[in-house]
Amino acid sequence: MLLDLLAPPLCWSCRSPAARGDPLCRACRRSLRFLPPAPVALRGLETWAPVAYEGAVRDLVKALKFRGAAGVASAMASLIVANAPAGLLAGALVPVPLHAARRRARPFNQSALIAGAISTRARLPVADCLIRTGSKQTQVGRARAARLTGAGTIQADGHPPATALLVDDVVTTGATLAACAAALRAAGARQVGAIAFARTAGR
């Protein structure tokens, strides 16, 4: 993208100079805390992420979410593909969908950007087959009944892949991923796993 070419290569976390093509400077890259290679079960779903959601990782997630920085999605995908346990990257990549309200405010979905970058590296197809209904806007100034919709309703649009690997930027409780997995299974997916760039993890 033109913006990437014009921007000086500065670290997205601390704004120190960084090598071209790397969104983090060497010090911030060294600060990344890698998580164990085995997936964890969150709400019954095998979920894996390469790094802990803290420090410079938070800044990368923000840069992707609010700026759509293509170089950041690419760097996240590199870390995922380079560190994923054998056999994990299989099936079709299914990005976690954005809320309808956020879709109107932003032209991109950060999960889809990460899935696209993984797809290029790992040669896996992307199946953007989930939709989320129930607007976030209903949570502001509306009846309590509307707030109870929480994450909204997630549905599969058409036929999901038989083997699906959900992709998100950050996983915390796994509630959204579990709702996505349930929607995929209800629509016929037989095997569902999940990956994210980062996971909240205590020390």
Q: Note the residues at the interface with Zn ion (CB under 5 A).
A: 11, 13-14, 16, 25, 28
For residue 132, what are the CA distances in angstroms to 62, 75, 142, 161?
Answer: 21, 27, 19, 18
Place of tokens 């994923």: 84
Strands (E), the chain: 40-42, 45-48, 51-52, 92-95, 130-133, 153-156, 163-171, 191-199
Please report how close the Cβ of residue 203 comes to Zn ion at its closest, in angstroms.
21
- Residue 31 or 149 with smaller CB distance to Zn ion: 31
Please report how close the Cβ of residue 23 comes to Zn ion at its closest, in angstroms.
9
The separation between the first and the last C-alpha atoms of the chain, rounded to the nearest angstrom, is: 38
- Residue 14 or 122 with smaller CB distance to Zn ion: 14
- Residue 17 or 150 with smaller CB distance to Zn ion: 17
- At a CB cut-off of 8 Å and minimum separation 6, what does 50 contact? 34, 35, 79, 80, 82, 83, 84, 197, 198
- Residue 13 or 135 with smaller CB distance to Zn ion: 13
Please report how close the Cβ of residue 59 comes to Zn ion at its closest, in angstroms.
8
Please report how close the Cβ of residue 31 comes to Zn ion at its closest, in angstroms.
8
- Residue 29 or 185 with smaller CB distance to Zn ion: 29
Place of tokens 């502001």: 140
Q: Which residues pair with 196 in a beta bridge?
A: 168
Please report how close the Cβ of residue 195 comes to Zn ion at its closest, in angstroms.
25
What is the token pair recorded at 87?
């056999």
